[in-house]
Structure 1
Amino acid sequence: MRKMLIVGAGQSGLQLALGLQSKGYEVTLMSNRTADEIRSGRVMSTQCMFHTALQHERDLQLNFWESQAPRIEGLGVSVAAPDSSRAVDWVGRFDGHAQSVDQRVKMAGWMETFVQRGGQLVIHGAAVSDLDYFSRTYDLVMVSAGKGELVSMFGRDASRSPYDAPQRALAVAYVHGLGPRPEHPDFDAVRCNLVPGVGELFVMPTLTTSGRADILFWEGVPGGPLDAFQGVKDPSEHLARTLELMERFTPWEYARATKVELTDANATLAGRYAPTVRRPVGRLPGGGLVLGVGDVVVANDPITGQGSNTASKCAHSYLDSIVEHGEREFDEKWMQATFDRHWEDTRHAVKWTNAMLAPPPEHVLNLIGAAGQLPPVADRFANAFNDPADLDHFFFEPEKTNAYLAEVSGAQA
């Protein structure tokens, strides 16, 4: 039986560990926190999993919260006008529903499942020196811990990382008590509120440790008015600032948030990071090799909601590559090919995310505006969150956008 070590217990690392376990591999998982510490700790992310990623979880029988989490049926876009009214407002419907489960709930639950299914869990913050030893005792060592010392083993791929500094300041609050969006009170949707030149507010329903909740998530242009959370340690102050900014820039969302309260004492998060693609093979001091997984190798800005989806797709792709490789050695050539296979899919998400961090060109503004009058355009844009590859056909190039809008307008006439 081949022995695998995975360092890091996030979406990608845990999904891959459980997938390998289901295929009969002997898997050791290293985490710097216990399941209880994760469950009672600070929120880690905003995560909205779209259909393809959810199906990867279903295929591994890991969709434990599907009946409890809100069914997210669509995605809406609002664009603020200079007077803080809405210049654009629409919602598109998903072909397959999306869901968000607080990673404290999911990662703790998956970690306990891994142990129940016979996996070896080691609670230890691994250093490079540890991996030097382990690389000689395991057939394959993979690193899915996207922060800390271990990431430094994986060099930045400048050709795929156009930004060398954070493009948004991020601020998250999980709340109870948010009212429904009056435009569609009968179904849940992620709402993307764009404030040109300032940033974005995302509002999404989720399942957290205390049940149904909503996430209020500001992405602010660094140095701008939304870049207002540095140094804020008190959760209640964080929420108050979140609401002040909503009242100022997105009053239509603030109107349903006047009675919200934080879900728990650890329900806020703030920070920033540069979106980065890294080289997938890390070389240890003793000559051993390790393979980067998930956001170790592809860390997207969350503006397009691709982080947890890319992590899930990475785990799915790597699992296939490992199983197909059989008993052969996991050498550097195989590691690079394994990442390249994943990159062939995830490059579309990276391209889109990096484009959305820049000021939108005129044809994209026209597309977003047209979606308010043309429901098929709204639906197609919404479903691109599940399949970013489709954007190549209608989003990036003015000629393709104009041709697509003309085609839909003609069909609607």
Structure 2
Amino acid sequence: MRKILIVGAGQSGLQLALGLQSRGYEVTLMSNRTADEIRAGRVMSTQCMFDTALQHERDLGLNFWESQAPRIEGLGVSVAGPDSSRLIDWVGKLDGYAQSVDQRVKMAGWMETFAQRGGQLVIHGAAVGDLDYFSRNYDLVLVAAGKGELVSMFERDASRSPYDAPQRALAVAYVHGLGPRPEHPEFDAVRCNVVPGVGELFVMPTLTTGGRADILFWEGIPGGPLDVFKGVKDPSEHLALTLELMERFTPWEYARATKVELTDAGGTLAGRYAPTVRNPIGRLPGGGLVLGVADVVVANDPVTGQGSNSASKCAAAYLSSIVEHGEAPFDEAWMNATFDRYWQTARHVTKWTNAMLAPPPEHVLNLLGAAGRLQPAADRFANGFNDPSDFEDFFYDPERTNAYLASLTQG
């Protein structure tokens, strides 16, 4: 029985641990918090997961909350004008529904499941020195903790990381009491509101510790009017700021938010980080090698909502690579090949996300405008959140964009 150590109990670490466990591997999982501490703690992300990523969970029988979480059937885009009116407003229908389950609910539940199924769960923060000691007792060590000292073992890949500073200031609030959008109240949708030169507001339904809720998520251009959450410790002050900015920049979303209240004291989050791709292999002082997982090695800005999706896809790819490798050693060549397999998916996410952080070129604005008149364009853009590789065919290149739009109008 091959022994594997996974450090980090987020989407990728837990999904991979449970997947390997179901295949008969002896898995040790290290987490710096207990399940109860996670459940009672602060929200960690927005985690809207689309159909492909959700299917990876279903394949492992880990979709415990699928019947309870709201089914997100559409993705809407609005673009604000200088006077805070809507210049663009449409919703694309998703081929398969998306869902958001608060990671406090999911990670705590999965962690308990892993332990109940006989997995070795170690509650301890891990430093590089700890891994050096542990690595001698395991066939493979995987680092899935995307923050903290361990990430420094993985060198930044400058050729794949165009930004060296954060491109957005992030502010999340989980709320009860949000009213429905008057347009299409019959189905749930993620709403992406673009305020040119200022940032973006995302609104999405979720399942949290207290049942159904909605997430209000501002992404502000650093130094701009949305970059006001740093140092705000009081959750009620955080919510008041969120709503004040909605009233100013997205009044159509504020109109349904006048009665909201925070889901709980841990329902806010603020921060920022630089989007970074890193080399996948970390070298320990004693000479051992460890493989980075998900956002340890590919950390994109959440402007495209891909973090949990990428984590799920990375865990699925790594699981296949480990199982297919049989009894052979997990050497440097295998680690590089395993990351390259994941990069075939992740590169599309990185390219698209980095493009969405920049001011949109004219052909993209034309595409977004046309989607208001051409439902197939709206639907295709929405489904790109599930499969970002599709953007290659109609998004980046003005000629391809124009040809695609022309094909819709000629039909």
Q: TM class, shorter-chain normalised?
A: over 0.9
Give the secondary-structure state (helix, strand or coil) at the position aligned to 2:48. Answer: coil
CA distance in 1, matches of 2:358, 2:405: 22
Which residue does 1:86 correspond to in 2? 86
Q: Trace 1:87-126 onto structure 2 (pairs within 5 A).
A: 87-126=87-126
* Partner SS state of residue 135, structure 1: helix
Q: Which residue of 2 aligns with 1:270?
A: 270
Tell me how far 1:92 sits from its aligned partner.
Answer: 0.2
Say whether residues 1:56 and 2:56 are aligned partners: yes
Distance, in Å, in 1 between the alignment partners of 2:382 and 2:94 is 6
Instruction: Provide the residue aligned with 1:290 in structure 2.
Output: 290
Alpha-carbon distance in structure 1 between the residues aligned to 2:160 and 2:72 = 32
Query: For residue 85 of structure 2, what is the amino acid of its counterpart?
Result: S
Aligned residues: 411
Find out whether 1:154 has 2:154 as its counterpart.
Answer: yes
Q: Secondary structure of 2:110's match?
A: helix
Other-structure match for 1:137: 137
Give the distance between the partners of 1:305 and 1:258, measured in 2 at CA: 25
2:22 aligns to what?
22
Is 1:396 the equivalent of 2:396? yes
Displacement of 1:397 in angstroms is 0.1
Deviation at 1:141, TM superposition (A): 0.4
Aligned to 2:210: 210
Structure-2-length-normalised TM-score:
1.00
1:355 matched residue in structure 2: 355
SS of the residue 1:33 aligns to: coil
Aligned AA for 1:385? F
1:332 corresponds to? 332
Q: Following TM superposition, by how much is the alpha carbon of 1:133 offset from its aligned partner in structure 2, in angstroms? A: 1.0
Q: What one-letter code is carried by the residue in structure 1 that aligns with 2:251?
A: P
The 2-side partners of 1:128 and 1:226 are apart by 37
Tell me, what secondary structure is at the counterpart of 2:207?
strand
Q: Letter of the aligned partner of 2:163 in structure 1?
A: Y
Query: Any stretches of 5+ residues in structure 1 without a counterpart?
Result: none
d(CA) in 2 for partners of 1:260 and 1:33?
30
Say whether residues 1:306 and 2:306 are aligned partners: yes
Q: Distance in 2 between the 1:286 and 1:299 partners?
A: 27
- 1:210 is displaced (CA, Å) by 0.0
Query: Aligned partners of 2:398, 2:83: CA distance in 1, in Å?
Result: 29
Q: List structure 1 runs of 4+ shifted beyond 4 angstroms.
A: none
Post-superposition CA distance 1:263-305 (Å, at most 9, x none):
0000000000000001000000000000000110011100000
SS in 2 for 1:61: coil
| 1:62 Cα deviation from its structure 2 partner | 0.2
1:68 aligns with 2:68: yes
Paired with 1:313 and 1:165, the residues of 2 have a C-alpha distance of 26
Q: CA deviation at 1:134?
A: 1.0
Deviation, 1:345, is: 1.1
- CA distance, structure 2, for counterparts of residue 56 and residue 22 of structure 1: 14
Distance 2:240 2:364 in 1: 33
* Matched residue SS, 2:14: helix
| 1:327-346 CA distance string (max 9 Å, x none) | 00000110010000000111
Cα distance in 1 for residues equivalent to 2:321 and 2:218: 37
Q: Residue 122 of structure 1 aligns to a residue in which SS?
A: strand
In the alignment, the residues of structure 2 paired with residue 47 and residue 25 of structure 1 have an alpha-carbon distance, to the nearest angstrom, of 28
Give the letter aligned to residue 273 of structure 1. Y
Quick one: distance in 2 between partners of 1:12 and 1:389?
21
Unaligned runs of 5+ in 2: none
Offset at residue 184 of structure 1 (A): 0.9
Write the deviation string for residues 311-362 of structure 1: whole angstroms up to 9, x where unpaired. 0000000000000000000001100100000001110010000000000000
2:245 is aligned with what amino acid?
L
Q: Deviations over 1:72-130 (max 9, x none)?
A: 00100000011101000000000000000000000000000001111000000011111
Q: Name the structure 2 match of 1:2.
A: 2
Q: Secondary structure at the match of 1:77?
A: strand
Q: Distance in 2 between matches of 1:16 and 1:66?
A: 19
Query: Secondary structure of 1:89's partner?
Result: strand
Three-state SS of the structure 2 residue aligned to 1:346 is helix
State the shift of 1:17 in Å: 0.2
Tell me which amino acid in the other structure corresponds to 2:231: G
Alpha-carbon offset, residue 403 of structure 1: 0.1
Please state how far the C-alpha of 1:21 moved relative to its aligned partner. 0.3
Q: Partners of 2:117 and 2:393 in 1: how far apart?
A: 44
1:13 is displaced (CA, Å) by: 0.3
CA distance in 2, matches of 1:303, 1:210: 26
Describe how 1:361-376 pairs up with structure 2 within 5 A.
361-376=361-376
Return the alpha-carbon distance in structure 1 between the equivalents of residues 179 and 158 of structure 2: 44
Match of 2:342 in 1: 342
Aligned to 1:387: 387
> Distance between the aligned counterparts of 1:170 and 1:133, measured in 2?
37
The residue type equivalent to 2:7 in the other structure is V
Matched residues in 2 for 1:409 and 1:144: separation? Answer: 46
Give, in whole Å, the separation in 2 of the partners of 1:47 and 1:242.
19
Counterpart CA distance in 2 for 1:62 and 1:298 is 24
3-state SS of paired residue (2:206)? strand
Amino acid at match of 1:220: G
- Code of the residue aligned with 1:350 in structure 2: it is T
CA distance in 2, matches of 1:174, 1:292: 30
The amino acid across from 1:202 in the alignment is F
Distance 1:270 1:317 in 2: 31
Whole-angstrom distance in 2 between the partners of 1:213 and 1:194: 22
1:162 is paired with a residue of what secondary structure? coil
Paired with 1:196 and 1:294, the residues of 2 have a C-alpha distance of: 30
